[in-house]
Amino acid sequence: MQASLPPAPATAPPAHVLVVDDDPDVVALIVRYLSAQGFRVTSAAEGSAMRDAIAREPVDLVLLDLGLPGEDGLALTRYLRESWRGPIIIVTGRGESVDRVVGLELGADDYVTKPFDLRELLARIRSVLRRVSERAAPGASAREAFAFGGFRLDPRSRELRDPRGAVVDLTTGEYALLKLLVEHPNRVLSRDDLTSWMHGRDAGPYDRAIDVQIGRLRRKIEADPAEPALIKSVRGAGYLLAAKVTRE
């Protein structure tokens, strides 16, 4: 009698990227390229179609153009942060540095600038999804919670609780940045190192992504964000978490 074969291991479904852009040529290019890289890609040309797509089925990442007609990308970023927990990469034109910073302030996880290199876009998407994956399935070294300054960060549940025990809501990028800081307490982490780890790229001279996310974190955990006691700036060097961290 022939022995039965073991069942084939289950394979994870491809990550689903929703491209929100009203330029059909750009959308076709991105869909074709990301599909060839193993992603599932759908698209929406404006806000209502984006909302319908997210309500219809799970989406792993939204690639959102800021220069949309009508309800622009900044308004949609605000909507997504209020009603959806997934990661957002915003797309801006070269001259839209102010909008780029505002998008990051609203909670976007990263940005790309038009015209972009498709390989760079792919690297940004993979970097953000990697952080989400590590958050969802922490390894053995990430099973302990971190206690610092009255706060408690638990990688198993991805929860930050304040000294009163209330949950502090964090975006994907904020969580990843705070976890990196608590893993290296009282050690200066350079802006370039943080950018490289967080976004998988080198920081450019006008890249404010890390500074913006540090500012958002401070507003959520500092008693006085203007005079931070926990996340300190070290002039010309970077940032450090100025607190004793214990593992529980």
Q: Return the domain boundaries, the chain.
A: 16-136, 140-247
More confident residue, 207 or 114: 114
Position 211 scores a pLDDT of 85
pLDDT band at 4 (very low <50, low <70, confident <90, very high): low
Architecture of domain 140-247: Orthogonal Bundle (1.10)
Question: pLDDT (tens digit, 9 = 90+) per residue, 45-95?
Answer: 999 999 999 999 999 999 999 988 888 899 999 999 888 888 999 998 766
For the stretch 67-75, contacts whose Cβ atoms lie closer than 8 Å and that sit 24 or more positions apart, written own/partner, are 67/92, 67/93, 67/96, 68/20, 68/21, 68/22, 69/22, 70/46, 71/46, 71/47, 73/20, 73/99, 73/103, 74/99, 74/102, 74/103, 74/106, 75/47
Q: Is the pTM above the cut of 0.75?
A: no
Position 207 scores a pLDDT of 60
Are 16-136 and 140-247 the same fold in CATH? no
Whether the per-residue pLDDT at 133 is higher than 90: the answer is no
The CATH code for residues 16-136 is: 3.40.50.2300
Question: pLDDT (tens digit, 9 = 90+) per residue, 206-237?
Answer: 467 788 889 989 999 999 999 999 999 998 88
CB 238 within 8 A of CB 190: yes
Position 192 scores a pLDDT of 80
* Lowest mean pLDDT across 33-42, 89-98, 105-114: 89-98
- Round to whole Å and give the CA distance between 80 and 94: 24
